[in-house]
């Protein structure tokens, strides 16, 4: 009888070995499943935040030759912000650009391939850890994790390739740590160290593995059901294998500390405006506030794992409610997690896989719970990418326990049909959700338009969609279109900005952006002033606010007030030619030519490109009836801007009047080369022209 059962077990194992045990076949199966899940994402375009790593990224577009620059510069840097140090993902994109050019579809294809590789390497780790579990348990865990829609943001967003890479590298590092502990080969420890460093340089989310790896060590190398075995100091000090564990943990934790501090040692502090609507803990560091937000965050993460709908590109304050310690939802979350803690101890001895899964989940998610550091947006699906493997282990372990399925089972034929239907039913639902969500990530507007229906209360999400619509308006040469064509888009921008302001009225940037539309498109300076005055009370030292104030008062013919705000804007930013011209024009309008000349000469000292200062000084001398000095300055202006047709005609006429035929002919020929189709009469013209013709 025993021989018969043994033969049956061996036969069942052989039946499963081809696809589920053999590495080559397993990888091919994972590759096929990856394309089933994410193949439609290959047709997507660039999307949210892709400029951080590839789209219009000046560094990455240089290709391989930019790698030294990438390795010695911040993750993102422009005139308004600079932050982070994540060079590896940008290096990968730079190599990709050198090989294939800038192509979003190639980039998405590579994301799918990397996802497949990451899943396969995770399979190798699961096999290494669960050496006493059957192949079906391991594959059930892998498939539940792989099919979960929570990964859509990571795979469908090119910016989030860093999540795939950091996790892949951290898993490889873990495998090397295990190899060192098993064999004692120091080279394996060196590999583990290098891979973990590279994982950290991909993204600092690798910090979660400083907690995950110790849990793996305890599970694999101790009797997890015996506290004495885990904490016995004598065993740890006298056992060579456990000494190697101690050395591995020492390397791991020292590396974590050094890599976490590295950006602070290499670069000045980050420069990035953060707002309370992105995370209410930004300016509130009391422990009760951190505890409350962390409790809500962990509850929301559990909700996304058990019921992944809706999935959103951003969450933030008011989509995630503002809570305090007395709110019911906080203590509901505490209760849920206390129940999980109870189950942890309840199954400590008779379901070690469930215990392991729960510990892995909390080790992975705790750094992103908002208790230890504030997370931008409070909640982010990408942060569940790694920790969700613990969720999958715990859920599958509980299903096996409830269904009384042996953990070392090798054949699916030994499992009751209802459990098979239940499990594959979940995978099918996950598949439909994943494929559907991939389509949402087609491009910015598709994603934002789809998600905004669930984000009425999100300050940042409304701000993002408003800015995206506005960017599309600007990119389409708006001033070449009649206002009635632009009005639907502009009204949408104002609608979303106003909805954002209804939740967070103290956003000076949004207030300025609305005012800008009323100034430049609707010609309604009175309405614009209402928004600008609110913004000025909040942040009076924003350049754009002061400049727009100046424009409003200029439109209202109040040059004195326009100068007041223009000159303040000049103190904040002095390299904007239009600002200098506006100040100079205002002084001319006020019949204060000496002041106009003063600012023109001041501009000359810092601007070596614009023709504005010489044109203005020329006009000053024209008012003083010194036409020779006026012409002299306009010639200098023409050297800086030799494409100004009217100025060429004026100078040609002036020198013709002065009987300087050489110069007159020179400027007439220049005017013809600028505009050969204009048949203007090149006879002597009156040299005294108005201000608008000069400019």
Q: What is the pLDDT of residues 181-196, one digit of tens each?
A: 999 999 999 999 999 9
The band of 16, judged by pLDDT with boundaries at 50, 70 and 90, is low
Report whether pLDDT(225) > 70.
no
User: Whole-angstrom Cα distance, residue 423 to residue 140?
Assistant: 8
Cβ–Cβ under 8 Å, residues 318 and 503: yes
Alpha carbons 292 and 322: distance in angstroms, whole number: 9
For the residues 54-67, what does the mean pLDDT come to? 93
Does 137 lie in the same domain as 286?
yes
CB atoms within 10 A of CB 371: 18
Structure tokens that stand for 496 in this block: 């979303």
Residue 539 CB partners (closer than 8 Å, separation 6+): 508, 545
Q: Which of 439, 457, 479 is the last residue of a domain?
A: 439
Domain boundary residue among 388, 413, 439?
Answer: 439
Give yes or no for residue 255 having a pLDDT over 70. yes
Q: Is residue 231 scored above 70 in pLDDT? A: no
Report, as an integer, the average pLDDT of 307-325: 95
In a domain, 636, yes or no: yes
Q: Which residues contact 308 (CB under 8 A, 6 or more apart)?
A: 148, 149, 150, 430, 433
Total-model pTM = 0.88
Of 117-121, 176-180, 675-679, the least confident: 675-679
pLDDT value, residue 274: 78
Residue 692 confidence class, pLDDT cut points 50, 70, 90: very low
Under the phi-then-psi rule, with left for phi > 0, alpha for psi from -120 to 50, and beta for the rest, what region is 56? left
**Domain final residue pick, 439, 467, 500:** 439
Phi-psi domain of 523 (left: phi exceeds 0; alpha: psi -120 through 50; beta: other): left
Which residue from 162, 150, 142 is spatially nearest to 301, judged by alpha carbons?
150
Distance CA 415, CA 417 (A): 6
Helix (H/G/I), strand (E/B), else coil: 76: strand
Q: What percent of the chain has pLDDT over 70?
A: 93
Q: Supply the range of the domain harboring residue 167.
A: 21-439
Tell me: pLDDT of 471 over 80: yes
Count of domains forming the chain: 2
Which residues does 247 contact at the CB level (< 8 Å), separation at least 6?
189
Cα–Cα dist 109/87, whole Å: 21
Q: What's the mean per-residue pLDDT of the chain?
A: 91
Tell me how far apart the 2 most distant CA atoms of the chain are, in Å: 122
Which of 390, 305, 405, 298 is closest to 353 using CA atoms?
390
Give how far Cα 192 sits from Cα of 172, 178, 230, 499, Å.
Answer: 7, 9, 24, 50
In a domain, residue 513? The reply is no
Segment 375-398 mean pLDDT:
97
Q: How confident is the model at residue 224 (pLDDT cuts 50, 70, 90)?
A: low
Q: Are residues 173 and 321 in the same domain?
A: yes
Q: What is the mean pLDDT of residues 585-593?
A: 96
**Bridge partners, 320 (sequence order):** 317
Residue 233: pLDDT over 60: no
Q: Radius of gyration of the chain from Cα atoms?
A: 33
Q: What's the average model confidence in pLDDT over 209-236? A: 78
What pLDDT shows up at residue 10? 46
CATH number of the domain that residue 581 is part of: 1.25.40.10
- What gap in Å lies between CA 419 and CA 329, rounded to an integer? 33
Looking at the chain, how many residues does it have? 695
Residue 555 lies in a domain: no
Residue 151 has pLDDT above 90, yes or no: yes
Residue where the block lists tokens 């583990």: 192
- Residue 320 is assigned to a structural domain of this protein: yes
On whether residue 545 sits in a domain, the answer given is no
Residue 152 lies in a domain: yes
Nearest-angstrom CA–CA distance, 461 and 379 = 13
Q: Would 163 be classed as within a structural domain?
A: yes
Contacts of 69 (CB under 8 A, 6+ apart): 59, 62
pLDDT level of residue 78 (50, 70, 90 thresholds): confident
Q: Is 77 helix (H, G, I), strand (E, B) or coil?
A: strand
Domain assignment present for 689: yes
Task: Write the burial class of residue 131 (CB in 10 Å: 0-12 exposed, 13-18 middle, 19+ buried).
Answer: exposed
CA distance 137 to 183: 27
Give the pLDDT confidence score for residue 2 in this predicted structure. Answer: 41
What pLDDT is recorded for position 4?
44
The rounded distance, in Å, linking the Cα atoms of 312 and 303 is 13
For 134, the 3-state DSSP assignment is coil
Residue 208 pLDDT class (50, 70, 90 cuts): very high
Residues 482-536 pLDDT 10s: 999 999 999 999 999 999 999 999 999 999 999 999 999 999 999 999 999 999 9
pLDDT at 681: 41
In this prediction, residue 234 carries a pLDDT of: 59
**Closest C-alpha among 166, 436, 442, 459 to residue 314:** 459
Question: d(Cα 284, Cα 277) in Å, to the nearest integer?
Answer: 12
Structure confidence by residue, pLDDT tens digits, 347-378: 988 999 999 999 999 999 999 999 999 999 99
pLDDT at residue 576 is higher than 90: yes
DSSP H/E element including 83: strand 82-83
């Amino acid at each position: 009888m025993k021989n018969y059962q043994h033969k049956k077990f061996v036969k069942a194992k052989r039946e499963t070995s081809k696809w589920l045990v053999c590495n080559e076949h397993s990888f091919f199966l994972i590759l096929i499943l990856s394309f089933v899940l994410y193949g439609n994402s290959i047709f997507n375009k660039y999307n949210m935040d892709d400029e951080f790593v590839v789209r219009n990224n000046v560094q990455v577009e240089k290709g391989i030759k930019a790698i030294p620059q990438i390795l010695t510069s911040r993750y993102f840097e422009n005139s308004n912000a600079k932050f982070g140090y994540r060079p590896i993902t940008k290096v990968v994109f730079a190599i990709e650009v050198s090989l294939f050019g800038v192509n979003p579809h190639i980039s998405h294809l590579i994301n799918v391939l990397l996802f497949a590789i990451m899943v396969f390497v995770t399979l190798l780790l699961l096999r290494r850890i669960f050496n006493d579990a059957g192949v079906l348990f391991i594959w059930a865990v892998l498939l539940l994790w792989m099919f979960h829609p929570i990964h859509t943001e990571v795979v469908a967003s090119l910016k989030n390739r860093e999540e795939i890479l950091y996790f892949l590298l951290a898993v490889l590092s873990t495998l090397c740590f295990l190899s060192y502990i098993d064999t004692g080969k120091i080279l394996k420890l060196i590999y583990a160290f290098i891979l973990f460093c590279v994982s950290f340089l991909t993204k600092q989310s690798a910090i979660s593995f400083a907690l995950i790896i110790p849990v793996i060590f305890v599970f694999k190398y101790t009797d997890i059901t015996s506290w004495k075995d885990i904490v016995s100091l004598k065993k740890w000090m006298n056992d060579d294998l456990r000494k190697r564990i101690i050395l591995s943990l020492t390397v791991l934790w020292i590396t974590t500390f050094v890599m976490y501090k590295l950006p602070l040692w290499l670069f000045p502090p980050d420069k990035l405006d953060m707002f309370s609507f992105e995370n209410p803990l930004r300016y509130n560091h009391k422990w009760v506030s951190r505890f409350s937000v962390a409790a809500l965050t962990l509850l929301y993460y559990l909700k996304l794992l058990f019921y992944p709908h809706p999935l959103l590109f951003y969450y933030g304050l008011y989509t995630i409610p503002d809570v305090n310690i007395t709110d019911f939802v906080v203590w509901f979350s505490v209760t849920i997690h206390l129940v999980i803690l109870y189950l942890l101890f309840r199954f400590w001895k008779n379901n070690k896989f469930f215990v392991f899964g729960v510990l892995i989940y909390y080790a992975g998610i705790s750094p992103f719970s908002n208790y230890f550091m504030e997370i931008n947006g409070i909640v982010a699906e990408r942060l569940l990418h790694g920790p969700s493997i613990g969720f999958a282990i715990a859920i599958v372990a509980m299903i096996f326990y409830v269904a009384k399925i042996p953990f070392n089972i090798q054949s699916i034929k030994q499992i009751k049909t209802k459990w098979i239907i239940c499990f594959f039913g979940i995978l099918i639902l996950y598949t439909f959700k994943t494929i559907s969500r991939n389509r949402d990530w087609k491009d910015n507007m598709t994603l934002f338009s789809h998600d905004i229906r669930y984000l009425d209360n999100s300050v940042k999400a409304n701000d993002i969609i408003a800015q995206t619509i506005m960017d599309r308006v600007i990119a389409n040469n708006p001033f070449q279109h009649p206002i009635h064509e632009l009005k639907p888009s502009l009204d949408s921008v104002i609608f979303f900005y106003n909805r954002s302001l209804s939740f967070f009225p103290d956003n000076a940037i949004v207030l300025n952006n609305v005012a800008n539309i009323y100034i430049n498109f609707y010609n309604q300076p009175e309405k614009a002033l209402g928004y600008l005055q609110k913004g000025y009370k909040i942040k009076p030292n924003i350049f754009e606010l002061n400049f727009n104030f100046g424009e409003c008062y200029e439109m209202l013919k109040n040059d004195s007030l326009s100068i007041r705000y223009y000159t303040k804007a000049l103190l904040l930013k002095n390299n904007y030619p239009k600002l200098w011209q506006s100040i100079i024009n205002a002084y001319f309008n006020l019949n204060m030519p000496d002041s106009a000349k003063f600012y023109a000469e001041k501009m000359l000292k810092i601007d070596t490109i614009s023709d504005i200062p010489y044109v203005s000084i020329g006009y000053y001398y024209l008012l003083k009836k010194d036409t020779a000095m006026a012409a002299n300055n306009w010639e200098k202006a023409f050297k800086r801007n030799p494409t100004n047709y009217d100025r060429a005609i004026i100078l040609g006429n002036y020198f013709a009047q002065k009987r300087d035929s050489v110069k007159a002919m020179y400027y007439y020929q220049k005017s013809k080369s600028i505009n050969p189709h204009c048949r203007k009469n090149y006879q002597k013209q009156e040299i005294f022209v108005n201000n608008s013709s000069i400019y």
